[in-house]
Amino acid sequence: MKKIVVFASGSGTNAENIIKYFSETKTGVVTNVFTNNPNAKVIDRAEKFNIPAEIFSKEELYEGKLLQRIVSIQPDLIVLAGFLLKLPQNLVETFPDKIINIHPALLPKYGGKGMYGMHVHRAVVENKEPKTGITIHYVNENYDEGNIIFQKEVALTNEDSPEDVAAKIHQLEQENFPIIVEKVLLSI
């Protein structure tokens, strides 16, 4: 069975959805969850499924200690599910085309440093976009610039608030992310 490692920084709803999905398949299994946030709710979500959740510091990420830990696990795929830090070059180079991320907009629009969560949804509403969506993409050395694997859009109305947009995006993430993770895993 193929091994999946999940990185998350916050509430962990996407991480939990992926853990649940793969607990019911023979394709892969989430072996570890990593977070840079000691207060992240993803820790409790992982522990609920008996998945070890490991907390690391920025120093461990950027100085190579975390890379050594990830290499020791030998994951087939690394999934960023609401992970906010930029991955260092050495991690990206060690796992080429084996790290994927989900972004809450239709890239290349609304991507880059600082464009996450409600920041994206507010920008979409302020710019009166007729649609938005999700993008699942490979991770490279730049924020949100890796090759696109999948996009799914949703229509917006002039009445949609950033919170309405967030709810629509969350639904798309929950419906699509685990399925696309599985497709990528099967292609490896």
Contacts 24+ apart (CB under 8 A), 66-72: 66/34, 66/91, 67/91, 67/94, 70/5, 70/34, 70/94, 70/95
Structure tokens at 130: 């007729």
| CA distances, 159 to each of 83, 105, 125, 146, 156 (Å) | 30, 18, 9, 32, 8
Q: Is 86 helix (H, G, I), strand (E, B) or coil?
A: coil
136 neighbors 176 (Cβ within 8 angstroms): yes
Active-site residue, 103 included: yes
Which of the residues 103, 119, 121, 137 is marked catalytic? 103
Residues 6+ apart with CB under 8 A from 88: 61, 62, 64, 67
Q: Would you please indicate which residues are annotated as catalytic (active-site) residues?
A: 103
